Amino acid sequence: MYVSQTSPTTSLQPSLNGYASGGYAVQSIGPANGSMVMNGTVGQRPASVGEVQLFLFVNPGSGGNKGQVFLQAANPFKVDLDDGTKAALNIYSLLDGESGNKKGFHHLKQVIQSLGGKPVRVVVGGGDGTVMWADTEATKHGIDTPTQVQFGIMPLGTGNDFSRVAGWGGNNPCNVEDNDWALLTRMVKQWMAAIPRPHDVWEVTVSVDESTGKLTNIGKTKEEEDVGVNSKTFAMINYFSIGQESQVGMHFDKHRTKSQTCNLFVYGLAGLGQELRCWGVQHIGNVVANLYQGTKGKGTLILDSEGDAGEPELIGNPESLMFLNIPSYAGGKANLWQKDQPSGVEPAHPPEAIDVDQDPGDGRLECVTLPNIANIALDKLHHFSSRVYSGGPYFLEFFKDDEADIHAFFEVDGEFYHAINPESAAVRLQKKLSVLQNSGEKFDESDEETGWGC
């Protein structure tokens, strides 16, 4: 099926047959009314005339430098589509040029202008965080990404959860140049057939005490380094979590490799080692004091760890508190929001706050607790997570201790940080992007005809 650059508005509904096309059944609710660039002008799409422009922005270092091979293809890379039209894939490195002044994004802006501001398909090659890198660059070049770009993803990271949910699998592509770039040709056809759907972008701000606090992450020296600010804001499209899995992630970052397979193995070893050090394990009830739906401690109290009578208290003392925008975690190992799972707080919140289907474009984040990070690896066998709330925005207050430092580890879309004497975390909806959802059958990574990986 061919879908033009200006594909119809879509609705997003959970599939009744599991998660078809990467998790969602996408239905067209408007007419296809695409425009194309023909001889330098904008015109209505004819039956078999014209050339559709789409873009591929690659992080050449991603996937153990597997992204580099795409920069060796013909540029533009032209593909004859099944309906008789031709697609021109314009390929650029995300590293070329200074931020805010990159040739590829200037070209993209010109194409968008030639189409009268109508959206253009932009595929990003890299890990999940690369999507927001490309979005930030496009914005710096004067492009209104929510209305003028439809983002696709080519998985070149470690977990590739965003790609999995969009229906493109999680394996890094290989042998792309074989048989006269046959795989890239197939990719272009699949990207052109994909259907856009809404995807929320959230903003996470973590703040520490101005006098005694500090934010650190693992720097280029493979050691913890002070990021130099007391408050940091992140764009989030997948998940934000606090607790033991993020402490393990900090150890993983010290030993991260260029191999997707090795990275998954290293993360597993880091988790095992940290769990064996029982005295160093994070527990949410010792770190998070209160969680609200709202801003700055105003609104619905979702979670109270201070023991106030009648307030929703944590059940047990879980190792992780997670805010999920997508139904995939840790490279597809877990789908943690399950409607048949129990409440993670007592008393439980009303059904309208927890008995909801997960949808990355509905303006809500699903909040869960996890008793032990080992449960992540076992999730496909048995679900251990507990539902807390579905909604947003959120505001979280940390405990304070005048005699000893409070340590909290957190993650935003696979980037891990250590907060010393944290004060608060705020999560709010920033904007909605349009994301290309695989419109075919479920993506089978082991099938040479449908998968991209080796």
Residue from 81, 1, 6, 14 nearest 360 by CA: 14
Helices (H), 120-168: 129-140, 145-148, 161-165
Peptide bond into 347 cis (omega under 30): yes
CA pair distance 341, 319, nearest whole angstrom: 17
Residue 422 has pLDDT above 60, yes or no: yes
User: What does the pLDDT read at residue 180?
Assistant: 96
Kindly report the number of other CB atoms within 10 A of residue 333's CB atom: 16
**Two tokens at 409?**
């580890």
What backbone phi and psi angles, to 5 degrees, belong to 301? -80, 115
Beta bridge partners of 314: 345
Q: Which of 212-216, 247-251, 324-328 has the lowest mean pLDDT?
A: 247-251
Residues 438, 442, 447, CA angle at the centre, nearest 5°?
110
User: What does the pLDDT read at residue 386?
Assistant: 97
CA pair distance 325, 236, nearest whole angstrom: 9
Sign of dihedral through CA atoms 330, 335, 337, 340?
negative
Q: How big is the chain by its Cα radius of gyration, in Å?
A: 22
User: What does the pLDDT read at residue 220?
Assistant: 82
H/E element holding 240? Answer: strand 239-243
3-state secondary structure of 386: strand
Name every residue whose Cβ is closer than 8 Å to that of residue 328 and which is 6 or more positions away in sequence: 23, 161, 164, 165, 238, 334, 335
Residue from 54, 193, 179, 180 nearest 125 by CA: 54
User: What does the pLDDT read at residue 8?
Assistant: 37
pLDDT digits 0-9 by tens, 22-56: 444 444 333 333 345 443 433 333 333 479 999 99
User: What does the pLDDT read at residue 45?
Assistant: 35
Mean of the per-residue pLDDT values of the chain? 84
pLDDT digits 0-9 by tens, 330-389: 999 999 999 999 999 999 999 999 999 999 999 999 999 999 988 998 998 999 999 999
H/E element holding 430? Answer: strand 422-437
Write the DSSP string, 60-124: TTHHHHGGGGGGGS-SSEEEE-TTS-EEEEEEEETTSSBTTB-HHHHHHHHHHHHTTT--EEEEE
Q: Which of 151-165, 224-238, 250-264, 375-389 has the lowest mean pLDDT?
A: 250-264
Query: For residue 272, how far is the Cα from the chain centroid?
Result: 25
Residue that the structure tokens 């709330």 belong to: 389
**Two tokens at 41?**
């002008």
Kindly report the number of other CB atoms within 10 A of residue 205's CB atom: 14
Over residues 85-101, mean pLDDT: 97
Residue from 284, 289, 291, 252 nearest 270 by CA: 252
CA pair distance 263, 409, nearest whole angstrom: 20
**Two tokens at 408?**
């909290």
pLDDT digits 0-9 by tens, 53-62: 999 999 998 8
Region class of 189: left (phi > 0), else alpha (psi between -120 and 50), else beta: alpha
Residue 445 has pLDDT above 70, yes or no: no
